[in-house]
Amino acid sequence: MVKILNYIVSAFFPAICLGCSDKLLHQEQHICTHCRHNLPFTSYHKHAQNPVLNSFYGRVLLQNATALLHYKKNGMVQQLLHQLKYKGQQEIGTILGNLLGNDLKSETSYETITHIIPVPLHKKRLQKRGYNQVTTFGQQLATHLNATYVDDVLVKVSNTKTQAFKKRTARWMTAQHSFEIENFGKLENAHILLVDDIITTGATLEACANALKKIPNIKISIATMSIAS
């Protein structure tokens, strides 16, 4: 019965590829074979020095940093991230997390990672969207790297609340990004992998990393789904 129902539903509402909107073939799920073969991988994690790690040099001390895909305006990755962020397609995070996780677990420099930390959304934004678009990606990475997914240490705080306690000169600095640490003890001596969907200027990740640095003896690495180029 369920099979027949599925057949009828798929006849009227064929599943479409989240990358190119073409109709999916029977055995394809979420992203078509053509799009999967054309994902613009960076392979940055295969190199000790890479553009992501180098972009943070002199800003914040990191162990390792990588991004899975190249992001181009109007490209397939932009389409995928849009579906993930605004259309509830959290499977995209799972797929990308699997791809990167499979790569990272064979890289010795990522072996010591103990915790995966997502860049948090503000509480109000989270309520509105219903999910953090980085969650499924981070959870998949945690599975592959044998690490713990932790989303109650790094929190995004209300800018207005922060600003009320700051002097005028400091306001500009905190206008966009304010992150705080809760449950300090959880990540003492940890090597964390901070994860996000995209790196553009790196300002958000830098602000997160600087907040996390308040935790004693913490080591920080970064992995994102994509990097804008």
Distance from C-alpha of 38 to C-alpha of 44, rounded to nearest angstrom? 17
Q: Is 92 among the residues that bind Zn ion (CB under 5 A)?
A: no
Residue choice 30, 35, 141, 225 for contact with Zn ion (CB under 5 A):
35
Q: Is 15 among the residues that bind Zn ion (CB under 5 A)?
A: no
The residue count for binding Zn ion (CB under 5 A) is 5
What's the closest the beta carbon of residue 168 comes to Zn ion, in angstroms? 51
The CA dihedral of 18, 22, 24, 30, to the nearest 10 degrees, is: 0
Nearer to Zn ion, 17 or 225 (CB): 17
Q: Is 20 among the residues that bind Zn ion (CB under 5 A)?
A: yes
Residue choice 2, 10, 17, 125 for contact with Zn ion (CB under 5 A):
17
Q: Is 18 among the residues that bind Zn ion (CB under 5 A)?
A: no
Q: Which neighbouring-strand residues pair with 83?
A: none
Write the single-letter amino acid at 113: I
Place of tokens 């609340």: 161
- Residue 140: phi and psi, rounded to 5, are -65, -40
Applying CB under 5 A, the span of 19-27, 42-50, 65-73, 144-152 interacting with Zn ion comes to 19-27
Q: Is 77 among the residues that bind Zn ion (CB under 5 A)?
A: no
HSE value, Cβ hemisphere, 13 Å, CA-based, for 45: 28
Nearer to Zn ion, 62 or 84 (CB): 84
What's the closest the beta carbon of residue 19 comes to Zn ion, in angstroms? 4
Q: Is 32 among the residues that bind Zn ion (CB under 5 A)?
A: yes
Distances from the Cα of 218 to the Cα of 40, 59, 61, angstroms: 32, 16, 11
User: Sheet of 219-228: strands edge to edge?
Assistant: 65-71, 219-228, 191-199, 115-118, 148-149
The first and second tokens of residue 91, run together, are 């499977």
Nearer to Zn ion, 40 or 51 (CB): 40
The DSSP annotation for 138-161 comes to: HHHHHHHHT-EE--SSEEE--HHH
Q: Is 80 among the residues that bind Zn ion (CB under 5 A)?
A: no
Nearer to Zn ion, 18 or 53 (CB): 18
Report the 10 Å Cβ neighbour count for 185.
Answer: 8
Q: Which neighbouring-strand residues pair with 198?
A: 226
What's the closest the beta carbon of residue 204 comes to Zn ion, in angstroms? 29
Residue choice 19, 93, 101, 118 for contact with Zn ion (CB under 5 A):
19
> Which residues are near Zn ion by CB under 5 A?
17, 19-20, 32, 35
